Amino acid sequence: MITVEDLIALVRNYNPRTDEALIRTAWDYGARMHEGQLRHSGEPYFTHPAAVAALLTEMRLDDATLITALLHDTIEDTKSTFSEIARLFGQEVAELVDGVTKLTNLPLASSEVKQAENIRKLLIAMSRDLRVILVKLADRLHNMRTIRSMRPEKQAQKARETMEIYAPLAGRMGMQWMREELEDLSFRVLRPEARNSILRRFITLQREAGDVVHRISGDIRTELERAGVEADVYGRAKKPFSIWRKMQEKDLGFSRLSDIYGFRIITREVEDCYRALGVTHRRWRAVPGRFKDYISQPKSNGYRSIHTTVSGRDGKRVEIQIRTREMHEVAEAGVAAHWAYRDGQRSMNPFAVDPAKWITTLTEDFGAEDDHDAFLEHVKLEMYSDQVFCFTPKGDVIQLPRGATPLDFAYAIHTRIGDNCVSAKVDGLRVPLWTRLRNGQSVDIITAEGQRPQSSWIDIVVTGRAKAAIRRSLRHEDRERFIRLGNELLRVAFEAAGRDVSAKALGTAARLLSVPDAVELRARVGAAEISARRVVTALYPETGAKEPEVDAARPVIGLEADQSFRRAPCCQPLPGERIIGITYRGKGVVAHAVDCEALEDFEDQPDRWIDLRWIEGTHPAIYGVTLDLTISNDAGVLGRVCSLIGEHKANISDLRFVDRKPDFYRLIVEVELRGIAHLHQVLTALDAESAVAKTTRARDPALRP
């Protein structure tokens, strides 16, 4: 275990003016608070905060961040409080520790809706002080390095969360080394056989070809010395996950994969970067299409470097990155370089970006997206994106993710230009809107008044900004169409009842049917969410225009008179969900949810498919649904959960425990509900209960009829 003297020595290497006394006080306080607590490995728990603080010294961070690392679990796991930390270490440290605690309590690997909301909270926390996420990333890195002591299912959960959220976030912040290590540690848990296979191939390759990295590094140094370019050269084999991802993307076997080695040339001055590039291309053949100049066009997180791939010794492709020492510091620390210290002073690296401006560019469009799925898609697209740089006709540079199209380019300029786009010219030539743009191309967008986004555009664009704008426009277009249709349906229904349609009548009906206003009522009637005769009946019950009674045995439309009906036990569809009927000899029709995995078994039997839909109306609470809950093992929690379900007019028909741990229980609850809206009410209430760690709707493919 690292000692307090070791930690202070690491800090003094870059910050001789560090407040040693305060760090010692934080160390003693943290060790005292965690006394008696053990990690899964059996080590004293405080070894973890100490290791996190040591990791942050590699980024040369300030005392407040290091003290936060030492105390980051105290509020959550000990009797320590916010006010006590503020009194002992100051308001800044207390707020940072509180921010890390809140991030720790966000279950990012949860349901889509909850995951989207929690990632939104994570981004908000980042915008307040980016050092919070730096501590959290270091915390996750150390946990992943020591993950072997956890239960296998817990390892898999943490690894997936790391691969989906934390690794791409580290990459988006410019901390590429951390992203690669987090990905590879997750890869070791999720795909151990694949990783071991790649490592075995590496060993075989080294045995056959010798130390390729040493030889190629020597070749590069020799050429640079001959040209009088002063530079350091480093080489390495790429991480197993990076190689495996390339194999998947390019559909290549290991033996056919190129550029599995990476080299860096670190120069003193910017001019030397381009001299080194010239030396490299004169000596070795450059691979077409594999050159990127991030010095003249930096990434938004401050990253600057020249990337090129050449055919090196024995025809092997190698990737070379060329940058100055200052650029290299930013490439290693990313946005964290803004806080880096050298010789006791904040390091004034000219390439470090202002975190406030960077987080603004990252979250610019996130707040405008209300749809959870769209927001989650937007975030992941932004975090995983590799960039291309294209030019407007006036010479302005537009940054886009790899694979972007002219439509993405148009929406990046302005939403109105994207909505009115009819075609595009790339480098002066007219191209289809689905064309993938490349670095350095000039794009001219052609617009026309009256043009509106098409539904097919969703599949063409790749940026979250474009997808969100297109969806908003399509929703607006659909709404206008539904309002017009609803007007006509209501006119016919009111005439049939001998009544007049008026704004006042529709306003009253909206209030009776719990709809916001008359316009929304028209839209829902047009979308077939509410029938026109139901509106008439709500206002004039004496007209007799009643909704059809729901037959509990046949609550769906689409069955023949002699066909029986039952719900599939594998997906347990509810009223309000899209359903498909499958005919069974002797069993009648079994209704499956439209996204049920069991439907894949019948893709080649279209004659057995029946298009069904639920009869609109109030269904009795007789539809059983299985919920999978994880709750904390505390007094009264199970009672509160059962009460919550009962308060929402749902009946528990069965309850059984499937996993009991000292801290959490996992249980399966059978609940009787009216429909999908009722289910959402119950799930929302359970998600809001702090003692409920996880809530999912359980579906079991093994129960296929």
* Statement: residue 10 has pLDDT above 90: yes
CATH architecture of 623-703: 2-Layer Sandwich (3.30)
pLDDT of amino acid 126: 65
* Statement: residue 111 has pLDDT above 50: no
Lowest mean pLDDT segment, chosen from 334-338, 481-485, 595-599? 334-338
Placement of tokens 């009088």 in the chain: 228
Percent of the chain with pLDDT over 90: 25
Placement of tokens 């559909």 in the chain: 251
Q: How confident is the model at residue 124 (pLDDT cuts 50, 70, 90)?
A: low
Please name the residues in contact with 256: beta carbons below 8 A apart, sequence gap of 6 or more: none
**What is the C-alpha separation between 214 and 212, in angstroms, rounded?**
6
Q: Of 58, 77, 117, 478, which is the active-site residue?
A: 77
Q: How confident is the model at residue 33 (pLDDT cuts 50, 70, 90)?
A: very high
Q: Is 160 exposed, middle or buried (0-12, 13-18, 19+ CB in 10 A)?
A: middle
* Statement: residue 55 has pLDDT above 60: yes
* Statement: residue 288 has pLDDT above 90: no
* Statement: residue 478 has pLDDT above 80: no
* Statement: residue 556 has pLDDT above 70: yes
Residue 162 vs residue 702, higher pLDDT: 162
* Statement: residue 370 has pLDDT above 60: no
Q: How confident is the model at residue 107 (pLDDT cuts 50, 70, 90)?
A: low
Q: Which of 191, 265, 276, 278 is nearest to 232 (CA)?
A: 265
Q: Edge to edge, what strands does the sheet with 285-293 contain?
A: 231-237, 261-267, 317-324, 306-311, 285-293
Lowest mean pLDDT segment, chosen from 268-272, 610-614, 618-622? 618-622
Residue 604 vs residue 263, higher pLDDT: 263
Token pair in block for residue 456: 């097919």
Is-same-fold flag (4-189; 194-346)?
no
pLDDT of amino acid 549: 44
* Statement: residue 672 has pLDDT above 70: yes
Whether residue 583 contacts residue 589, with contact meaning beta carbons closer than 8 Å, is answered with yes
pLDDT of amino acid 545: 43
* Statement: residue 258 has pLDDT above 70: no
Residue 553 vs residue 691, higher pLDDT: 691
Domain residues of the chain, as ranges? 4-189, 194-346, 472-543, 556-614, 623-703
SS3 state at 113: helix
Looking at this protein, which amino acid is placed at residue 122? Answer: L
Q: How confident is the model at residue 358 (pLDDT cuts 50, 70, 90)?
A: low
Q: Edge to edge, what strands does the sheet with 623-632 contain?
A: 651-660, 664-673, 623-632, 692-697
pLDDT of amino acid 228: 93
- Name the strand (E) or helix (H) holding 609: strand 609-614
Q: How confident is the model at residue 312 (pLDDT cuts 50, 70, 90)?
A: low
* Statement: residue 323 has pLDDT above 80: yes
Mean pLDDT value of segment 227-253: 80
Q: Of 76, 444, 520, 687, which is the active-site residue?
A: 76
Active site residue 76: yes
* Statement: residue 224 has pLDDT above 90: yes
pLDDT of amino acid 402: 77
Lowest mean pLDDT segment, chosen from 187-191, 243-247, 344-348, 471-475? 344-348
Q: What is the DSSP string of 459-500?
A: HH--SHHHHHHHHHHHHHHHHHHHHHHHHHHHHHHHHHTT--
pLDDT of amino acid 254: 56
Active site residue 77: yes
Long-range pairs of 221-226 with CB within 8 A, sequence gap ≥ 24:
223/279, 223/280, 223/283, 224/265, 224/276, 224/279, 226/279
Q: Distance from first CA to last CA of the chain, Å, rounded?
A: 56
pLDDT of amino acid 548: 44
CATH of domain 4-189: 1.10.3210.10
**What is the C-alpha separation between 449 and 536, in angstroms, rounded?**
40
* Statement: residue 364 has pLDDT above 60: no
Whether residue 353 contacts residue 338, with contact meaning beta carbons closer than 8 Å, is answered with yes
Question: What distances in angstroms separate CA 595 from CA 381, 558, 573, 591, 702, one per listed residue?
Answer: 24, 19, 10, 12, 15
* Statement: residue 183 has pLDDT above 60: yes
Residue 144 vs residue 549, higher pLDDT: 144
Lowest mean pLDDT segment, chosen from 186-190, 253-257, 316-320, 671-675? 253-257
Q: Which of 279, 177, 298 is nearest to 221 (CA)?
A: 279
Q: How confident is the model at residue 306 (pLDDT cuts 50, 70, 90)?
A: very high
Q: What is the DSSP string of 75-108?
A: HHHSS--HHHHHHHH-HHHHHHHHHHHHHHT---
Instruction: Provide the 10 A C-beta neighbour count for residue 424.
Output: 22
Residue 318 vs residue 28, higher pLDDT: 28
Whether residue 123 contacts residue 362, with contact meaning beta carbons closer than 8 Å, is answered with yes
Q: Which of 486, 475, 480, 545 is nearest to 515 (CA)?
A: 486
* Statement: residue 410 has pLDDT above 90: yes
CATH of domain 194-346: 3.30.460.10
**What is the C-alpha separation between 101 and 530, in angstroms, rounded?**
46
Mean pLDDT value of segment 288-310: 85
Instruction: Provide the 10 A C-beta neighbour count for residue 128.
Output: 12
Q: How confident is the model at residue 113 (pLDDT cuts 50, 70, 90)?
A: very low
**What is the C-alpha separation between 464 and 653, in angstroms, rounded?**
43
Average per-residue pLDDT in the chain? Answer: 82
* Statement: residue 665 has pLDDT above 50: yes
Q: How confident is the model at residue 639 (pLDDT cuts 50, 70, 90)?
A: confident
* pLDDT tens digits for range 531-552: 788 888 888 876 654 444 444 4
Angle, helices 270-283 vs 212-227, to 10°: value is 110
